[in-house]
């Protein structure tokens, strides 16, 4: 199965990994994360929510706040419930904000903003790096340089440490 799609964000003053779920009608926060926010006052939620396999979800209440994704913030109504993920952005957020999930660019497009996907299960891997200029790095030394990853993802500016990798000539390792 495909891994879940997450984006990094902020709800209240707390960082959160928000799961993108276009199959959910509503946006949810876990009770645990809501408590980290200081348990702000909740309003009664009129209705019931079921999982994809028709199980009821235990709802604590609902509140409105802002979610920050990238450098922008949006109003969002969250239902606080007993869920595993800290935050789930469903169609109550995705549809009114004209969101697009771009698998080819690995971004969530929210209006004219692009928020890169974050997958906590993906391990770092080797990929080509385009260095911004000429750099001479002697053997057994380090240099901090800027460059761009050669990937399909648009937000790929990186700063890292590049080390010559011996015994292979002309191979550099970014860490």
Higher pLDDT, 175 or 81: 81
| 170 backbone φψ class: left, alpha, beta (φ>0; ψ -120 to 50) | left
For residue 43, what is the DSSP state? B
For residue 75, what is the DSSP state? E
In this predicted model, what pLDDT tens digit does every residue of 25-56 receive, in sequence order?
999 999 999 999 999 999 999 888 888 777 88
- Tokens matching residue 117: 């996907």
CB neighbour burial string for 29-64, b if at least 16 within 10 angstroms, e if fewer: bbbebbebbeeeeeeebeeebeeeeeeeeebbbbbe
Higher pLDDT, 139 or 41: 41
Higher pLDDT, 133 or 173: 133
In this predicted model, what pLDDT tens digit does every residue of 49-93 receive, in sequence order?
888 777 888 999 999 999 999 889 999 999 999 998 999 999 999
For residue 38, what is the DSSP state? T
Regarding pTM above 0.85, the answer is no
């Amino acid at each position: 199965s495909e891994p879940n799609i997450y984006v990094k964000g902020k709800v209240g003053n707390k960082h959160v990994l928000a799961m993108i779920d276009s199959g959910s009608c509503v946006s949810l926060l876990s009770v645990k994360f809501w408590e980290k926010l200081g348990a702000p006052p909740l309003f009664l939620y009129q209705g019931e929510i079921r999982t994809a396999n028709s199980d009821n979800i235990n709802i604590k209440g609902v509140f409105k706040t802002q979610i920050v994704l990238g450098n922008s913030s949006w109003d969002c109504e969250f239902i606080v419930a007993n869920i595993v993920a800290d935050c789930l952005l469903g169609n109550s957020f995705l549809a009114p904000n004209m969101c697009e999930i771009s698998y080819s660019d690995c971004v969530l497009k929210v209006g004219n903003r692009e928020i890169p996907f974050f997958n906590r299960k993906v391990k770092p891997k080797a990929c080509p790096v385009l260095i911004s200029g000429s750099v001479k790095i002697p053997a057994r030394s380090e240099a901090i340089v800027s460059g761009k990853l050669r990937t399909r993802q648009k937000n790929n500016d990186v700063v890292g440490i590049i080390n010559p990798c011996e015994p292979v000539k002309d191979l550099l390792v970014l860490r």
